[in-house]
Amino acid sequence: MKRLLALLFGAALLAVQAPAQVRHEMRVPDIPGYLTLKGDMHIHTIFSDGTVWPTTRVQECVWEGLDVLCITDHVDGRLQKYTNNGTFSKERVDRNTAYELAAKAAKETGVLIVHGCEITSQIMPPGHFNALFTSDNNPIGKAMDAAGSDNQPKGADDAIRTAKSQGAFMTWNHPHWCRQAPNKTVIYEEHEKYCKEGLLNGVEIYNWWEGYSPEAHHWAVEKGLTLISGTDSHAPMFMDIDFMAGELRPVTLIFAKERSLESIREALDDHRTAVFADGKVYGAGELIRPLLESCLKIERIVKTRTKLSIEIFNDSSIPVTLDKAPGSEEWQMTRHLTIHPFEHYTILVYRLDKNQPIEADAADLNYTVDNFFTDAGVRLPWRLHIDLK
């Protein structure tokens, strides 16, 4: 009896000590030569109009397996409005506090925190810009405030230039936001000028509120802007993303040489990013093709006289949908398939006449990747090369 009680007590103790942590970790593999870092480059906290404390933002990243976070609280007067107990004093809250709290909390976690802020002119142009890699948000906010709320475009312009003088990486946020682009997503002359002056370096092609912007994606390709995604989340992440239904936070995939802030900045400057959002991947072919090939692991190829069985495992959180493309007419193969995250799939390949022997040194199976886009409406072509020698 004593032994039984001891066993029960031990089991109870174990149950108490067992980690209660539940994680919805997103898995995206590295590609040859680069680490794939998953980042949210646009998010808010209680230090502007969000409802979440900065340390909780870091914990959310840990829980979801994100590597990079940039808290981009609105740098204008609303920060003071929300955080000074209603006194509206413009000097009492430091605009760097959210970053400092997050950076301190992230030290033990491995999440890399980028210092940043959002510069917001409600009037277009310029609209909303994020400054990533700032060194001090206070002069940026003060430049915005100095112009007064009646002159927001001028205040935003001054703030953008102040951020740039700190060496910030500037992104145009949600160009397709219905409040600023009610009928059509438009790029203004001012944005073109910013591009030429080096004051616009990236563009948000995906924002959780508005989803994907094909226009912004196309401008990014055309003008050499870095692809950025942000949740722009103001609430706790679980209120925006339905994790229980299998949803994932939209992320910027940053292909970095090392796991460091310097490497992240270098990757952004070199346009080495992609966006993974809503089950789709957007990016340059030379980045997202190796990403696709890192996701899909060919586990086994079985060849009989008339049949090839190609066993594939999707070792990632990214679904892959393939459609047979021109160039493989001599083969009979699965024409349309989706390999879901962490799923095994076997593609069967025959000659056109099923009884004809395979008799080939290699099989080149041409597919279009239905959910990988290199430009607006342009799907990634992919050749699955199977060596049979």
| Residue position matching structure tokens 């003088």 | 165
What x-and-dash track marks residues 18-47 binding Zn ion by CB under 5 A?
Answer: ------------------------------
CB-nearer residue toward Zn ion: 23 or 179:
179
CB 346 within 8 A of CB 312: yes
Beta pairing class for 226-230 and 202-207: parallel
- What does the block give as tokens for 30? 């590295």
Do residues 291 and 281 make contact, with C-beta atoms less than 8 angstroms apart?
Answer: yes
Give whichever of 115 and 128 is closer to Zn ion, judged by the CB atom: 128
Closest distance to Zn ion from the beta carbon of 371 (Å): 27
- Residue window 63-102: x/- pattern of binding to Zn ion, with contact defined by CB under 5 A: ----------------------------------------
Q: Please identify the residue of the shown chain whose CB is closest to the bound Zn ion.
A: 128
How many angstroms from the chain centroid is the CA of residue 45? 19
CB of 207 to Zn ion, least distance (A): 8
36 DSSP β-pair partners: 255
Query: Strand pairing partners for 366?
Result: 383
CA distance 241 to 40: 13
* Residues within window 102-161 making contact with Zn ion, judged by CB under 5 A: 118, 128
Nearer to Zn ion, 38 or 128 (CB): 128
If binding means CB under 5 A, how many residues of this protein chain bind Zn ion? 4
Per the listing, tokens 């912007």 go with 213
**Residue 173 is a binding residue for Zn ion (CB under 5 A):** yes
Residue in this structure with the two tokens 């706790």, named with its chain if needed:
236
**Shortest distance (Å) from residue 233 CB to Zn ion:** 9
Tokens matching residue 207: 């924002």
Closest contact distance (angstroms) between CB of 81 and Zn ion is: 16
Strand partners, 37: 254
> Cβ 235 to Zn ion, closest distance in Å?
12
Closer residue to Zn ion (CB): 163 or 380 = 163
Query: CB-wise, 207 or 273, nearer to Zn ion?
Result: 207
Minimal distance, residue 138 CB to Zn ion, in Å:
19
Question: Alpha carbon of 52 to those of 60, 76, 224, 230, 298: distances in Å?
Answer: 11, 18, 34, 16, 43
The smaller minimum CB distance to Zn ion, of residues 76 and 145, is found at 76
Residues of span 218-237 touching Zn ion by CB under 5 A: 232
> Whose Cβ is closer to Zn ion: residue 128's or residue 164's?
128
Structure token digits, residue 303: 């060849």
Comparing CB distances to Zn ion, the nearer of 60 and 118 is: 118
**Residue 194 Cβ vs Zn ion, minimum distance, rounded to whole Å:** 16
Least Å distance, CB 84 to Zn ion, is 21
The answer to whether 67 and 106 are in contact (CB under 8 A) is no
**Residue 291: strand pairing partners:** none
Separation between Cα atoms, residue 383 and residue 328, nearest integer Å = 10
Binding residues for Zn ion restricted to 42-61, rule: CB under 5 A: none
Helix (H/G/I), strand (E/B), else coil: 210: coil
SS3 362: strand
Using CB under 5 A as the binding rule, whether residue 176 contacts Zn ion is answered as no
Does 180 contact Zn ion by CB under 5 A? no
Binding site for Zn ion (CB under 5 A): 118, 128, 173, 232
